[in-house]
Amino acid sequence: MEMEKKEIALIAVLLAAGTVLQYFLSMLHTLLIPDVITAFYCLAVIRFRPAINEAFGIGIAGGFLSMLIPGSILAPANLVSGPAGAYGCYYFYELFRDNTDLSPMIATFVATLVSGFTFVLVATVFVFGTILATFKNFGDFMGVYIPIIVLTAVLNGVIVQVLAMYPRRVADGRSG
């Protein structure tokens, strides 16, 4: 079953919101920009439950938008890490959605780890010299990136858990 135009438009709005938030985070000038676009493409995958190829497309769009935010050590790596994260979200949400109310958080946490470590892997392959020129050694590079990836995964998981619960509460007629 293909996605409807309304769903595609709402996914575009979610990705745009994530892009704006990530742009503002880029102004902090950290070594790694927390990739909150991942949270918003995960929310799209969780809320609209697209087919796997559509989830992959959402990840490509998210990766492309992440690539546009300045400050990345290798912006094109987002074109690999975005789809990898979307696939991770799709897979883990399908795995946990019937077993726990925390499945949005779990799927997004794992998806962010998949995306973040895929980014690091691609960057390491293609710009290892730049990494060594920027950091004293590869261990220092990983010492900076791993905590940021894990903290971003926690942040993204919480964002998606809260946002995924809100529409359910509205649909159930509950407020506040």
Express each pLDDT in 109-129 by its tens digit. Answer: 999 999 999 999 999 999 999
Work out the pLDDT band at 157, boundaries 50, 70, 90: very high
Work out the pLDDT band at 175, boundaries 50, 70, 90: very low
Q: Which pTM was predicted?
A: 0.88
The domain in which residue 23 lies consists of 5-166
Distance, C-alpha 163 to centroid of its chain: 14
Kindly state the average pLDDT of the residues 159-163.
94
Kindly state the average pLDDT of the residues 55-78.
91
What CATH number is attached to the domain comprising 57? 1.10.1760
Residue 144 identity: V
Which two tokens mark 72? Answer: 């990345």
Distance between CA atoms of 166 and 175, rounded to whole angstroms?
9
Kindly state the average pLDDT of the residues 132-154.
92
Distance between CA atoms of 41 and 55, rounded to whole angstroms?
9
First vs last C-alpha separation in the chain: 34
DSSP string, 76-107: GGHHHHHHHHHHHHHHHHHHHTTT-TTHHHHH
pLDDT for residue 97 is more than 80: yes
On whether the CB atoms of residues 164 and 106 are closer than 8 A, the answer is: no
Domain count of the chain?
A: 1
Does residue 107 sit within a domain?
Answer: yes
Does residue 174 sit within a domain?
Answer: no
Does residue 39 sit within a domain?
Answer: yes
- Segment (H or E) for 29: none
pLDDT for residue 174 is more than 80: no
Does residue 132 sit within a domain?
Answer: yes
Determine the pLDDT at residue 112: 98
Determine the pLDDT at residue 78: 94
Q: What is the mean pLDDT of the chain?
A: 88
Determine the pLDDT at residue 31: 62
Q: Which residues contact 43 (CB under 8 A, 6 or more apart)?
A: 14, 104, 108, 159, 160, 163, 164
Does residue 171 sit within a domain?
Answer: no
Work out the pLDDT band at 173, boundaries 50, 70, 90: very low
**Tokens 């958080």 sit at which residue?**
105
Q: Which residues of 36-54 are buried (b: 16+ CB within 10 A; e: fewer)?
A: bbbbbbbbbbbbbbbeeeb
- Which carries the bigger pLDDT value, residue 41 or residue 14? 41
Determine the pLDDT at residue 170: 42
